[in-house]
Amino acid sequence: MNNEPVLLAVDVGNTNLTFGIFCGETISGTFRMTTKLPRTSDEFGIWILDLLKARGVKKEQVQDVIIASVVPGIMHSLNSGIIKYLERRPIVVGAGTKTGLKISMANPRELGADRVVDAVAGLELYGGPVMVIDFGTATTYDLVLADGTFLCGITSPGIRISANALWNEAAKLPEIGIEKPDSILAKDTVTSMQAGLIYGCIGQTEYIIRKVREEAGLSEMKVVATGGLGRIIAAETKLIDVYDPDLTLRGLQLLYQKCAPKTSSRRNDAGLGKRSRIEEIAVSNRLAMEEE
């Protein structure tokens, strides 16, 4: 990679931390770390620097960092590691973040940051009304109208949670790989479990899509899927229009453009010149930090 400035987007999920490297609006690389291992701020910082280096990105190229997290317990160490080793104060998506959404929920603050980010990406990239399905630790179905109203959200156990429940709660059922069997007409224990998990999830997905369309009266609703196991489900149903594996990271990049402070004319006069948008926002953030 050349010396272009980059934005580092971080999706902190219950299973993995997923990092996206953006040059402008283009995602040029991704990498993952497991969420479940406890790490100090030094471990986070060194790991991130090493993984960036492996992708040809120098520390000085990282102009800003934006994070969406559903795991509060690791945020102190993660933030500290980024501040110490990247010398950037991350923007953390949360209450007060400018999203452009109107969240029509009883308690909008209860809505996970990942779902907000997915909703922004689904609406801006694919138009509304749109249902965004994230096949993660939990499987979530979120409906966003064309005017930006986040109308409803549905949550169910993810495929991996269901699989873990099978082999942890039933003594004679083995731990298996989660993949689609050749046929639903299973002839052994492993394929019977795989058939139940995969075809059961397909059936749930199709029913929820149809039921939401019916109750919301949205026959033209688009359906966008993301999440690691979403690829398997999306390939097996005609009701999912798009599978976008980088939807959450792309949503973080879109939110960065919305919520980062814009540079003032005074700062432009102070030598910003023809910096890229990422450079301008990052310089503005650092100036704001110095003024605090």
Q: What is the pLDDT of residue 259?
A: 78
Cα gap 31→24, rounded to integer Å:
18
Higher pLDDT, 287 or 29: 29
The pLDDT value recorded for residue 194 is 96
pLDDT reading at 280 higher than 70: no
Q: What percent of the chain has pLDDT over 70?
A: 88
Q: How many Å apart are CA 165 and CA 70, to the nearest integer?
A: 22
Whether pLDDT at 269 is above 90 = no
Average pLDDT for 68-94: 95
What rounded mean pLDDT belongs to the chain?
A: 88
Q: Tell me the HSE value of 198 on the side-chain side, using a 13 A CA sphere.
A: 26
pTM to 2 decimal places:
0.85
* Res 278 pLDDT > 70: no
**What per-residue confidence (pLDDT) applies to 283?**
45
Instruction: Point out the residues that are catalytic.
Output: 114
The pLDDT value recorded for residue 1 is: 59
For 250-260, the pLDDT digits (tens) are: 999 999 998 76
Encode pLDDT of 106-115 as tens digits.
888 889 999 9
Q: Tell me: pLDDT of 264 over 60.
A: no
Residues 6+ apart with CB under 8 A from 70: 12, 13, 14, 112, 113, 114
Is pLDDT above 70 for 205?
Answer: yes
| Phi, psi angle pair for 153, to nearest 5° | -140, 140
CB atoms within 10 A of CB 128: 21
Assign 238 a pLDDT band (cuts: 50, 70, 90).
Answer: very high
- Give pLDDT, residue 95: 77
